Amino acid sequence: MRWIKKSVNDPEKVRKLVVWGLMAEHVFFSLFGDKHVPKSFNYLNKIGVEFVLSPLVHSDQSAWVNLFAPTEILHAMDIYPLCIEAFSSFLVGFQCEDVYIDYAQRFGISDTLCSYHKGFIGAALTDLLPKPKFMITSSMLCDANISTFRYLSWYHHVPMYSIDVPFEYSSQSVSYLEGQLREMVKMLEQVTGKKMDEDKLKEVIKRENKTHAYMNRYIDVLRYKCHPTTLTLEMYMLFVTHTFMGTQQTLRFFEILMDEMESFPDSKAKRVFWVHIVPFYPHGLKRYFNYSQHYEVLGLDLNFDYLEEMDCDNPYRALAIKMILNHGNGPYQRKIGSIMNIIDRLQPDGVIHFCQWGCKQSVGGMMLLKQMLDERGIPFLALDGDGADRRNHHEGQVNTRLEAFLEMIGKRERCL
């Protein structure tokens, strides 16, 4: 990690270090894996590393995307997506996020911007990342998406497409979005020289439907079964529920998971449903939730933000509908409705809302969610911090809040 920090001005060297590090991790999870977690989660770890590694190694066939980009289109065209939020998380894993964040801020980027964006901007400006062929961002959820991608597209002279996702669902808004997706594909074809085969896109959507069906079953089983996992793996789930949705690997992961899940013991833990991202590095959080039999994180709401059956015969329209009806898009009441629905299915003992530094769209509505949970008598905790910059995390404060919350929902003494 220190090597990376010391070599910020030698991007080639840092890139090699990052690629070697990821390859070593890939080998580890292919051969051994983490004995404390089920087979499926080791497979998830392996493919997660692959997902980040491929666009770095094959940058001439890669596209930078945000978490909510319709990557199904890229999978159908065999283009490797590099999700910027995921890469920033890896910078945290390599413990070098601070130098890249500072680098971006020195360029004038606001210090209150989401650290996932700042880290990635810093990495892009230092040339740590090889230039991609294309960039795709959607406007949904987060203001920073279009701004960050536009900035990087200018800086690197790489073409990009901004997808404007309307707030409300209507036939007009769906057509507006569908038109944009078709326009984007034309642009992608021109830039990459690859042709879109619509049958392949339909196949991707079919796999997505199968995955959604598995995920719905997963939720039903999760209500009773214990699933020993880690916070890191909960974040890895975002790979399969978003950027790599519709791929063979994702489908395979859920197949293995469902095969295993039935044989897991019934859960006796106190269980928490997590809203928004979860930082995977804080010691206190790891101590309570990683592999724990006593406290479990049932999942992140982000991983269940759209689970509907999609019309695979009209893939563009289906993708447009999926984006508009994502629970994070539209009024906050939609998100509350979706979270309450999952909560009804999972019956957690409490809900933790993580207030990510710079994420106004989530923190701004938090009190509305709290109000609704209060009405239902479900304990709620808000934790402030930063999943992508250790410097904005305050261990003592987070631990005090967390422990008090766990005391509140009971069973803390067993863990100690």
Is the CB of 358 or the CB of 387 nearer to other proteins? 358
Is the CB of 99 or the CB of 251 nearer to other proteins? 99
Residue 288 neighbours by CB distance under 10 Å: 22
Residue from 55, 282, 315, 358 in contact with other proteins (CB under 8 A):
358
Q: Is 308 in the site for other proteins (CB under 8 A)?
A: no
Only one of the segments 78-86, 227-235, 238-246, 383-391 lies at the binding site for other proteins (rule: CB under 8 A); that segment is: 383-391
Is the CB of 188 or the CB of 269 nearer to other proteins? 188
Q: Is 187 in the site for other proteins (CB under 8 A)?
A: no
Q: Is 346 in the site for other proteins (CB under 8 A)?
A: no
Residue from 12, 60, 164, 197 in contact with other proteins (CB under 8 A):
164
Q: Is 98 in the site for other proteins (CB under 8 A)?
A: yes
CA–CA distance, 350 with 212 (Å, rounded to integer): 25
Do 133 and 61 touch, CB atoms closer than 8 A? yes
Q: Is 154 in the site for other proteins (CB under 8 A)?
A: yes
Residue from 24, 220, 268, 364 in contact with other proteins (CB under 8 A):
364
CA–CA distance, 266 with 222 (Å, rounded to integer): 9
Minimum Å gap between C-beta 64 and other proteins is 16
Minimum Å gap between C-beta 100 and other proteins is 14
* CA–CA distances in Å: residue 201 to residues 75, 160, 380: 8, 21, 41
Residue from 16, 182, 283, 360 in contact with other proteins (CB under 8 A):
360
CA–CA distance, 53 with 222 (Å, rounded to integer): 31
Residue from 58, 286, 390, 411 in contact with other proteins (CB under 8 A):
390
Is the CB of 26 or the CB of 118 nearer to other proteins? 118
Residue from 107, 195, 407, 410 in contact with other proteins (CB under 8 A):
107
Residue from 41, 361, 378, 388 in contact with other proteins (CB under 8 A):
361
Q: Is 291 in the site for other proteins (CB under 8 A)?
A: no
Residue from 197, 397, 404, 408 in contact with other proteins (CB under 8 A):
397
Minimum Å gap between C-beta 353 and other proteins is 10
Is the CB of 49 or the CB of 381 nearer to other proteins? 381
Is the CB of 249 or the CB of 399 nearer to other proteins? 399
Sign of CA dihedral 22, 23, 25, 30: positive
Is the CB of 248 or the CB of 397 nearer to other proteins? 397
What token pair was written down for 61?
């066939």
Q: Is 179 in the site for other proteins (CB under 8 A)?
A: yes
Residue 354 forms beta bridges with which residues? 383
Residue from 357, 385, 388, 412 in contact with other proteins (CB under 8 A):
357
Triad 345, 351, 357: Cα angle to 5°? 130
Do 180 and 174 touch, CB atoms closer than 8 A? no
CA–CA distance, 1 with 153 (Å, rounded to integer): 28
Please work out the total of residues on this chain that contact other proteins, with binding judged by CB under 8 A.
Answer: 58
* CA–CA distances in Å: residue 277 to residues 231, 338, 362: 10, 16, 10
Contacts of 318 (CB under 8 A, 6+ apart): 205, 310, 311, 312
- HSE, side-chain direction, 13 A CA sphere, residue 337: 11
> 146-155 long-range CB contacts below 8 Å, 24 or more apart?
148/84, 148/117, 148/120, 148/121, 149/64, 149/66, 151/121, 152/64, 152/121, 152/124, 155/124, 155/125
Is the CB of 360 or the CB of 414 nearer to other proteins? 360
Footprint on residues 209-238 left by other proteins (CB under 8 A): none
CA–CA distance, 62 with 56 (Å, rounded to integer): 8
C-alpha torsion 91→97→100→102, nearest 10: 170
Using alpha carbons only, how large is the chain's radius of gyration in Å? 20
Only one of the segments 17-25, 214-222, 311-319, 326-334 lies at the binding site for other proteins (rule: CB under 8 A); that segment is: 326-334
Residues that bind other proteins (CB under 8 A): 98, 102, 105-113, 139, 141-144, 146-148, 150-151, 154, 162, 164, 166-168, 170, 172-173, 175-176, 179-180, 331-333, 355, 357-361, 363-368, 371, 384, 390-392, 394-397
